[in-house]
Amino acid sequence: MRNAFADELTTLAGSDERVVLLSGDIGNRLFDKFKSVDNNRFYNCGIAEANMMGVAAGMALSGLRPFVYTIAPFATTRCFEQIRVDVCYHKAPVVIVGTGSGLSYAELGPTHHSLEDLAIMRTLPGMNVYAPCDTIELRLIMREVMQSNSPAYIRIGKKGEPDIHSAPPKLKLGKAIVVRPGEQVTLLTVGNMVAESLKAAEYLAQQGVEAEVVSFHTVKPLDQVYLSQAMERFSLLVTVEEHSRVGGFGSAVAEWFMAEGRMAPLMSFGTEDEFMHEVGHQAYARKRYGLAAQNLSEKIMSRLGCS
């Protein structure tokens, strides 16, 4: 995903002179092509994220369109106040891109896990939050945010994620995309859990349950139309995210129903309220948190009373 980000940003920079890239001393060689477009629009801001975010805000207030790129926790929790005050309070159109999100860097330990970013980013007034499921959605979201004038956070994985869409879908910010139609249960998924959820839907189908799978590439603002209709159409709405269940996408969905004064039958999957102390790669970590396709399908079957 990070290669697609670098490539798409290079294209955007070629056609829009306002695009600048700020990196927190990562992405060695990743941005060589971007630099060849215009080296004056690339800034290695060093390992100093608070300053980097303030600099981006100052640039945005001077008419530029900065993209800030670093590892997800350092792009969000490390410099949260700068995002809150410098970016959001000023409505500065800064696009923050957090790479290695969720458990992508599981083996690097909890300092590099990013299981709180969706939660804290979506609390900020005016901040839009995106979690594309593949490189195709990522590219489309990047083009769309350039058309909007709002602060944005885009949560991406690392590299080698499977493509979900065989062809570019019609993507509109804030409008969820159905990637597999179904009838009984709907899996509302974000980012890198769409692939796992599609696998879970296969398992469910083998047991006679037709699950819909939806890519909620926009976590904020939520697609209220889909949620409202889903409540009528399905007997169970399941949220799936590689993120803490505290305050994440599942919480956002539940909050929406609560604010509406009605409650759909909901079930959420996410990581537990703890740091992961043992070593492990992403697949191991997912299993540990019950986020592997097999875990998802078993729990859903049980919830539906079909176990």
Partner 1 sequence: MTELTTTAAQLRARIIANSHKSATPHLGSCLSCVDILTALYFSVLRINPEQPDDPLRDRCILSKGHGAPALFQVLAERGYYPHELMDNYGEDGGVFAEHPPTPEHLPGIEAATGSLGHGLPIGLGMALAGRVNQHVYNVYVVLGDGECNEGSVWESAMMASSQGASNLYVIVDFNKWQATGRSQDVLSLDPLVDKWRAFGWNAVETDGHDIAALLEVLNQFPSKNGKPTAIIAHTIKGKGVSFMEDDNNWHYRIPTVDEVEQAKRELGVAE
Does 125 sit near partner 1 (CB under 8 A)?
no
Q: At what angle do helices 135-147 and 2-15 cross, to 10 degrees?
A: 30
Among 53, 133, 140, 179, binds partner 1 (CB under 8 A): 53
State which residue, 81 or 163, has the beta carbon closest to partner 1.
81
Among 8, 26, 30, 50, binds partner 1 (CB under 8 A): 50
- 70 neighbors 99 (Cβ within 8 angstroms): yes
Q: Can the peptide bond before residue 221 be classed as cis, meaning omega within 30 degrees of 0?
A: yes
Gyration radius of the chain over CA positions: 19
State which residue, 127 or 227, has the beta carbon closest to partner 1.
127
Does 16 sit near partner 1 (CB under 8 A)?
no
Stretch that binds partner 1, among 80-88, 147-155, 162-170, 229-237 (CB under 8 A): 80-88
State which residue, 45 or 176, has the beta carbon closest to partner 1.
45
Site of tokens 């804030």: 174
Total number of residues binding partner 1 (CB under 8 A)? 30
Q: How far is the CB of 69 from partner 1 (least distance, A)?
A: 16
Does 120 sit near partner 1 (CB under 8 A)?
no
Helix (H) or strand (E) holding 99: strand 95-99
Does 304 sit near partner 1 (CB under 8 A)?
no
Stretch that binds partner 1, among 42-50, 102-110, 167-175, 217-225 (CB under 8 A): 42-50
In this structure, what token pair is assigned to residue 31? 């941005």
Residue 284, C-beta contacts closer than 8 angstroms, at least 6 positions apart: 106
- Residue 70 backbone dihedrals phi, psi, to 5 degrees: -165, -175
Q: Is 216 helix (H, G, I), strand (E, B) or coil?
A: coil
State which residue, 7 or 25, has the beta carbon closest to partner 1.
25
State which residue, 26 or 61, has the beta carbon closest to partner 1.
61
Stretch that binds partner 1, among 36-44, 161-169, 187-195, 252-260 (CB under 8 A): 36-44
CA distances for 88 relative to 39, 63, 72, 152, angstroms: 28, 16, 18, 9
Does 64 sit near partner 1 (CB under 8 A)?
yes
Q: Is 30 helix (H, G, I), strand (E, B) or coil?
A: coil
Among 9, 12, 60, 71, binds partner 1 (CB under 8 A): 60
Q: Is 104 helix (H, G, I), strand (E, B) or coil?
A: coil
CA distance 27 to 67: 14
Does 203 sit near partner 1 (CB under 8 A)?
no
Q: Point out which residues bind partner 1 (CB under 8 A).
A: 20, 40-41, 43, 45-46, 48, 50-64, 66, 81-82, 85-86, 89-91
